[in-house]
Amino acid sequence: MKPFVAHDSIVRKIWGSSDTVLFIFAGAAAEFALNKAVDWLYFTGKLPADPIGRLFSTVRYARNIVFAPEEVALKTIDTIHHIHSAVEEKRGSHIPEWAYRDVLFMLIHYSIAAYELLNRRLSAHEKEEVYNVFYRLGTRMQVKDLPDTYSEWLPVREAHLINHLENNHFTTDLFKQYKKHLGSARYAILIEAQKLVVPAHVKRLLGFSSRHWLAPAVPLYAFSRKIKMDGWVRTLLLPSTYKAQIDAIDNPPAFNRE
């Protein structure tokens, strides 16, 4: 069966590493908290009640798209669309169109930023490849006004950051929930991880300092991979109770091995 994402795609490399995926969601957790439509995440109450659980739920959906045959991936995308439609119906209003784009834009930005932080710079072609995967995802979800190419997306992304982010009481509460569920030590590491991948505007809104005490450890990652001792990122960021779910990220879904 034709895959939704080519087997040799850089997107599979990005989403096939637990360390990279955790940096993606560290960054997204920061930006989510600033989004002007974050009240939708509070409507169901699931995110503030269990932010780590929601992370793994999102990872499962993403991997069932990235590593799936096209038919399975499209069904997964349709399921996500139906879930959001049901929430809209229950609340009696529509999620803003720009909020859907913002989520896609986060996945694009942090997929690239996390991989480049832990591995190497991506080529222009590889960045276009990342963009194309999420462009097709967004198109299937009927998200409107998506730029056609990565280069056209860049200024649109900047405009979204300026126009759709703010630090408000939801921001404060979400970060309190992150700290509650991670504990003080891991929460401090989360903040440092976020500093390494979020855009400058996000740093300013969150009041992040310019100091990065986690940054000097990043070069050790490449070396640790060579001697098969990588995985320290997941150990630092999440409690051991999530070990099985984290390890699963490094193993392709069953349909990817067929």
Q: Bridge partners of 165?
A: 35
First-residue to last-residue Cα distance in the chain: 10
Please tell me the predicted confidence (pLDDT) of residue 248. Answer: 78
Count of domains forming the chain: 1
On whether residue 247 sits in a domain, the answer given is no
On whether residue 182 sits in a domain, the answer given is yes
On whether residue 258 sits in a domain, the answer given is no
What percent of the chain has a predicted confidence (pLDDT) above 90? 55
On whether residue 199 sits in a domain, the answer given is yes
Nearest to 165 by CA among 35, 64, 50, 51: 35
Distance CA 234, CA 197 (A): 16
On whether residue 94 sits in a domain, the answer given is yes
Query: Which stretch of 48-57, 72-81, 123-132, 189-198 has the lowest confidence by average pLDDT?
Result: 48-57
Please tell me the predicted confidence (pLDDT) of residue 243. Answer: 73
On whether residue 76 sits in a domain, the answer given is yes
Judge whether residue 218 has pLDDT over 80: no
* Burial profile 32-55: b = 16 or more Cβ within 10 angstroms, e = fewer: bbbbebbebbeeeeebbeebbebb
Judge whether residue 102 has pLDDT over 60: yes
| More confident: 7 or 253 | 7
On whether residue 55 sits in a domain, the answer given is yes
Share the mean pLDDT of the chain. Answer: 87
What pTM did the predictor assign? 0.88
pLDDT tens by residue, 110-138: 999 999 998 999 999 999 999 999 999 99
Please tell me the predicted confidence (pLDDT) of residue 233. Answer: 63
Range of the domain at 80: 10-239
Judge whether residue 214 has pLDDT over 90: no
164: pLDDT confidence band, cut at 50, 70 and 90?
very high
